[in-house]
Structure 1
Amino acid sequence: MMFLYIYIVLLLEMPAVLGVSLDQGQKALIKTEGKTVYLPCKVTGQSYIHWYQMKDGEAPSRLLYISQRGDVTRDTNNPQANDFTVDKTKLYDLKLSDTQKSHAAAYFCAYWDSSSHMGNWIKRFGSGTRLVVTDPKKEIVTVPELTGYRPSKKNTDIHGKQTMLCHASGMVPDFVTFKWQEKSGAGQWTDVSEENVLEQRKESPAVTVTSMMIVDKNMAENKDYQCIVTHEGNTENPSKSLEMKKENSKPAKESKNDAQNPTCSPSTEETIKKQISGDSEQIPSMFLFVYAYGVLLMKNGLFFCIVSMFQLKRKAGKKDKSSET
């Protein structure tokens, strides 16, 4: 299962050698019933483009494909294929004129890539766009509630690492992305490498998405950090930030100044934010820390196994050549 997951991730993220690339823009779009929605797919290069619909709990189903000249061929296996057309002004964008709740799904554009060094055809997918369909009179956007956990001094592993947590919950639609930043001695915010960041999603009883950042114990105790959450589908106030100060600093509060925090829009709605530090408060983070550290160890172990296999094959090849001579 782990190898299958890695293979799917590679298909989604590996760029094509021939220069074809896909950009689907927003990860979530919100529309009320009866409205028209455009699902974007910006294509660099030339190729046949396929559109797939994936509803919750179902396998992806192709809607149609578009030739390089703009000819559209619908897939008769999908009962909703005739509901969609192609925007002629933007060759590969999908258009839905009468949006219904039955259209709520994730939509992916894709193309066949023949540039594999093994000579195989590989279908490569875009990042996908989630379409959320709501009632005309219903409030369609709910901003996330953010909760941050600084590590306790007792929660340190044998390598001197600690884990900071940032929770986002209660949001509609329930798609968020995270970015961590640390404050330098000069007071400037800089991005933290994603290599030490993991994410976990909990579906019940309510959707909660948690970002876990593993940091050195000394850095965790002596630096200020902030978690920036971007709410996909929220066009008015897409970003929220939660600053997690070191223990001898003032309590966390929402930034109101764009000049000091250019990555976040000022909020016009009340968002509950908490910064928690201490032994009793850190109990829920222990499982997440073990999970995060275990995943990192698994990734390192997998890399070591792959390198070892290549080295063994190389040695075996050298022995065969020496025996021939």
Structure 2
Amino acid sequence: MSELTAIFFLIFFGFTSGDTGTSVTHPKIWTVVKLGRAARIKCEVDSSVPLDTNPLHWYRWREGEAFTRLLHFPAGSSTFQKDDGVAGSVTASKSKQTSTLTISTTTASNDNDVYYCAVWSGNRKVFGSGTQLYVTEGAIRAPKVSVYSTSKAVEQKITFLCHASDMFPDIIRFTWQEKNNGQWVDVKKDGLDLLEGRFSKDKTMTSMMLIDQQKAKNNQYACTYTHEANKNAQQSERVEVERKASEDQGSGTQKTPITQTCPPAKITNETANIDALTELFGAARSLYLATWVYTMMIFKSMVYFCAISYFLCTRKMGGKPSGNRRAP
């Protein structure tokens, strides 16, 4: 129900990420701080909505709850105003086209939320992508990463998997790259089958990319990741999917050695794991599709209900006898 709550909020409050031409961005998808320290979350707004003459809002979204506005900057003001009930540990600042939300962390359970800034563009409120705050008392630990590829095509596609485990915090972002004219570039996501899944039992993350069999044969691919353990939260070095001319076509997978610092995860049966992952991602994709279809059906039903109600009201008012009509 938490995903549906977020979807309905964004529909009814006019969420958009570019329809109006306004860009609201959060430089960091997540930020990690130790308990007791201040967390700072930045938001940048393009020049189409000058912040010196337009209001800016900060929201918090907690899983299972509705969006909550924390504070806002009125139009033309550099001083924020808190909403009722917001704790004193939350403050904000504004400079030119950038705003920073500062949270003095008290307990992880109270502050581990997603924070958004928003501005009005015309008659629509434009939200940023949000920043996940992760408050921890533990030490940051870099992930162990391994890459796998299937040597046997399924539906004319080869599957590549980038698997990260034994990390803290368990928040990671994958980026797939391909070698183009001798240069490594990010794989374009347009029309690409790219899925990610989290396994809460052992706190691992896996990114799965499906590539056309012929394209996979002629190109070289690698996986990079961004984790809090990386210096300045930058992308890691590439973890390349090795290609060997003597690949065993009978084996289910081709295991790719990484480096001594990033040993492969302990997987006892690689073929079985890839089959399980494929089924899991297929089910996840179907679930998300079903969620969207269900949401749109409810939205469509509400539109029909409003239209029919309006029609019945106007019909009833039109059929009501006038008080000035003279009796025969």
TM-score (norm 1): 0.68
Question: Hey, what does 1:25 align to over in structure 2?
Answer: 27
Which residue of structure 1 aligns with residue 154 of structure 2?
A: 156
Change (3 A) 1:143 1:85: same
Gap change, CA 1:239 and 1:11, over 3 Å in 2: farther
1:39 to 28, 38, 41: 41
Amino acid at match of 1:66: F
Partners of 2:207 and 2:8 in 1: CA distance: 20
Q: Percent identity?
A: 30
Structure 2: how far apart are the matches of 1:166 and 1:12? 32
Deviation at 1:6, TM superposition (A): 10
Q: 1:12 to 1:165 in 2, by over 3 A?
A: farther
Distance 2:80 2:281 in 1: 49
| Distance (whole Å) between structure 2 residues aligned to residue 8 and residue 108 of structure 1 | 12
CA distance in 2, matches of 1:179, 1:33: 29
1:99–1:235 distance in 2 versus 1, CA, 3 Å: farther
For the aligned residues, what is the CA RMSD? 3.8
**Which of the residues 171, 177, 185 maps onto 1:190?**
185
Shift of 1:198: 2.1
Note if contact 1:223-1:246 (Cα within 8 Å) is conserved in structure 2: no
Post-superposition shift, 1:245? 1.7
Deviating more after overlay: 168-177 vs 7-16: 7-16
- Choose which of 225, 246, 261 in structure 2 pairs with 1:270: 261
Aligned residue pairs, count: 269
Q: Deviations over 1:111-148 (max 9, x none)?
A: 2333xxxxxx433211111222223xx31x22222232
Give the structure-2-normalised TM-score: 0.67
Greater CA deviation, 126-135 or 240-249?
240-249
SS in 1 for 2:141: coil
Deviation, 1:189, is 2.1
Q: Could you tell me which residue of structure 1 aligns to residue 141 of structure 2?
A: 142
| AA in 2 matched with 1:86 | A
CA contact (8 A) 2:145 2:165 kept: yes
* Superposition deviation, residue 51 in structure 1: 0.7
Larger Rg: 2
Match of 1:131 among 130, 133, 137: 133
Q: State the match for 2:169 in structure 1.
A: 173
Q: Which amino acid aligns with 1:27?
A: I
Unaligned 5+ residue runs, structure 1?
115-120, 256-268, 303-325
Three-state SS of the structure 1 residue aligned to 2:223 is: strand
Query: What is the one-letter code of the residue matched to 1:144?
Result: P
Where in structure 2 are the equivalents of 1:1-325 lying within 5 Å?
8=10, 14-15=17-18, 17=20, 20-44=22-46, 45-46=49-50, 47-68=54-75, 69-76=77-84, 78-80=85-87, 82-87=88-93, 89=95, 92-96=99-103, 98-101=104-107, 102-114=110-122, 121-135=123-137, 138-139=138-139, 141-153=140-152, 155-157=153-155, 160-184=156-180, 187-195=182-190, 196-232=192-228, 234-236=230-232, 238-240=234-236, 241-248=238-245, 252-254=256-258, 270-273=261-264, 279-280=271-272, 282-288=274-280, 290-291=282-283
Post-superposition shift, 1:64?
0.7
Native 8 Å contact 1:152 1:278 kept in 2: no
Q: CA offset at residue 249 of structure 1?
A: 7.4
Q: CA deviation at 1:222?
A: 4.2
Q: Is the 8 A contact 1:30 1:233 kept in 2?
A: no
Distance 1:56 1:92, change over 3 A: same
Task: Flag the 1:56–1:21 CA change in 2: closer, same or farther, 3 A.
Answer: same
Change beyond 3 A, Cα 1:51–1:100: same
Paired with 2:211 and 2:114, the residues of 1 have a C-alpha distance of 34
